[in-house]
Amino acid sequence: MVDNNNKKMAMPSAAKIIEEKNLNISDIEGTGVDGRVTKGDVLLHLTKSNISKNSVIQNSNNENTKNNRKDNGMDILVPVLGESVVEATVSKWIKKQGDFVEVDDPIVELETDKVTLEVPASVSGIIDSVIVSEGDTVEVGALLGIIVEGEGKSEAPKVANIESSNKLEEEIAKPVQTRDTSKNINNEVISSKSHNESLEERVPMSRLRQAIARRLKEAQNTAAMLTTYNEVDMTALIEMRKNYQDSFEKKNGVRLGYMSFFVKASIDALRQFPAVNAEIDGNDIVYKNYYNIGVAVGTSQGLVVPVLKDADKMSFGETELSIADFGKKAKDGSLGISDMAGGTFTISNGGVYGSLMSSPILNPPQSGILGMHKIEKRAVVIDDKIEIRPMMYLALSYDHRIIDGREAVSFLVRIKEIIEDPSRLVVGA
């Protein structure tokens, strides 16, 4: 798509959205090559547009609330949630109506399909009203509540609906009522079904879990996904790690793990086989000449993939520190949207859970994902002799639309070569 006035061009997928939404391309800032407008640029433009739109809608919907607001009231609004993210779910009110808050105190927790984030207080004061409830879906710019500015932890004003809110919480806390089957029902099938239902628990999927399910199914439906396997002898890497563990930890303040070696090996292989670091955008193949490696991390809420930005420029120490920091953030739920954006290739380590072999699913729009697994001692043939070696199965799932089988197999063989002889990373062999 081209604007004849300023010759601004758009990528095919971006042009499709511009046409569908009847947008003016000259209003959209292009960040692609030669100023081209990308799909992300269009989505970000729509997100920014929704902020003002949603503000008008919310002002209309909450007119009565605002008419009753004190002059020094301050709105609690849904912040910009990141590129292409336009709505969130209110997962938890950290503060309640009538609570006093200081500046930057977390008030409410929002959950998007990418991350959970907290909305802080912009002023000190008392939460005068809460507009939305836990579980509600809100858009960027929506009104969440109102803070009345003030100093000191004075007694909170009485709020009319606190009692009803408490009753609602009590109702939610009550156990699920089972179906009454005591009315002379002799049908064994119905009785059995009722008994089973009484042992079931229905819980809404979190937005993160919904996003995971949607993206994984999207990958299966869209990509021509195929997996190739190999195995790697971990003897040399285990020995190197053992020899340098103490000095590495003293110098870098973090233990030397296996993941940093696989990150470096993957970058080396990606340089040799750039199609694995590419993605499809409409009818174009976009080759990425940078290496943002996603490291899959399991949490209680689901799998998240924080990204090591410009991982090729990181030392082993910086890589391990970043991975450790991501792990800590994942556990306490403080991963930000920026932490998980922009990945070009992903590594998933199912071995930490004991997986011996699996076929990882692509992380769209990426075209490749490496699966690491459990290190298991097995009998293998070395120079015509049977020896016991620590072995690991590797799996590379890839999009066959742009990656040929030869490239995929060669990519995985290159990683095997480096892991079995880590000195290759030093001499570039």
Q: Which residues are part of the catalytic machinery?
A: 400, 404
Type of residue numbered 273: F
The continuous run of DSSP H or E covering 195 comes out as helix 188-198
Burial 82-120 (b: 16+ CB within 10 A, else e): bbbbbbbbbbebebebbbbbeeeeebbbbbbbbbbbbbb
Question: Residue length, the chain?
Answer: 429
| DSSP secondary structure, 386-398, as one string | EEEEEEEEEEEEE
Pairing assessment for the beta strands 368-372 and 345-349 based on DSSP bridges:
parallel
Phi first, then psi: give them for residue 150, nearest 5 degrees.
175, 165
The tokens for 110 are 């929002």
The set of residues, in sequence order, having a beta carbon less than 8 Å from that of 379 and lying 6+ positions away, is 386, 387, 388
Contact between 396 and 368 (Cβ < 8 Å): yes
What is the number of other CB atoms lying within 10 angstroms of the CB of residue 162?
14
Q: How far is CA 356 from CA 241, 346, 351, 362, in A?
A: 22, 19, 7, 19
